[in-house]
Amino acid sequence: MSRKLAAEFFGTFWLVFGGCGSAVLAAAFPELGIGFVGVAFAFGLTVLTMAYAVGGISGGHFNPAISLGLAIADRFKWAELIPYWIVQVIGGFAGAAVLYVIASGAPNFTAGGFASNGYGALSPGHYNLLSCLVAEVVLTAAFLVIILGSTSKAAPAGFAPIAIGLGLTLIHLISIPVTNTSVNPARSTAVALFAQTDAIGQLWLFWVAPLAGGAVGAFIWKLLLTPGESPGMIGQESQ
């Protein structure tokens, strides 16, 4: 169990440090040219790389909403859910803390939004609460379906991290203008703690909506489950 938790810690650390780091460090300089498209790919690449690196140890969740959805879909042990949530949040915080130390070394540094999520005034496109709620629920549900489908026994072996990483990239391309893209409570919590906005006051949405979306995605998958497939944990071959 300790190896699983360590893998989840490091994977979530990398997701926050790499994904949010691309927004805080690189996207802040227009001359570098990565823009929100580059940030979207950065988040996808963090999941893709860590899914290959440590997915065989822990299942490669790196996200409380994914862990919940996998438990509902009978792909993950309920007894391990809370320990996973704890290390995911701690790992995300560690990633944000390291990012803050690096970013604060720049002249005239101000944390500002620090890649945090929000609705209303804190939404990049100033989308209202309902728009942000619907976006986060739907996109997290879709992410669960991508994960469950690409890791099912009916899917080609070895390609799941690619599908999952590209799926997360697409999710960011859709929703960065809406919520700055969460679909991950650990990621949202980590950077909200360093933001100079009211990101903490809006953090509730980025727990409620992704967790609800994870549950919805799991139920959708269970209704569409390939006939005759025997569900099992992601990375169960390593157990």
In a domain, 193, yes or no: yes
Q: CATH no. for residue 92?
A: 1.20.1080.10
pLDDT value, residue 141: 97
Question: Is residue 106 a part of any domain in this protein?
Answer: yes
> What pLDDT shows up at residue 35?
87
> What is the tens place of the pLDDT at every residue in 112-124?
999 999 999 999 9
What average pLDDT does this structure show over 124-139?
98
Q: Comparing 27-31, 43-47, 175-179, 184-188, which segment has the lowest mean pLDDT?
A: 27-31
Give the model's pLDDT for residue 34: 81
Grade residue 97 by pLDDT with cuts at 50, 70 and 90: very high
Q: Identify whether 234 is part of a domain.
A: no
Q: Looking at residue 156, what is its pLDDT?
A: 80
Domain that holds residue 179: 2-225
In a domain, 238, yes or no: no
In a domain, 236, yes or no: no
Can you give the pLDDT at residue 36?
87
Answer whether residue 226 shows pLDDT above 60. Answer: no
Mean local confidence (pLDDT), 14-21: 97
Q: What is the CB neighbour count within 10 angstroms for residue 120?
A: 13
Q: What is the mean pLDDT of the chain?
A: 91
What total number of domains does the chain contain? 1
In a domain, 105, yes or no: yes
153 compared with 221, residue with greater pLDDT: 221
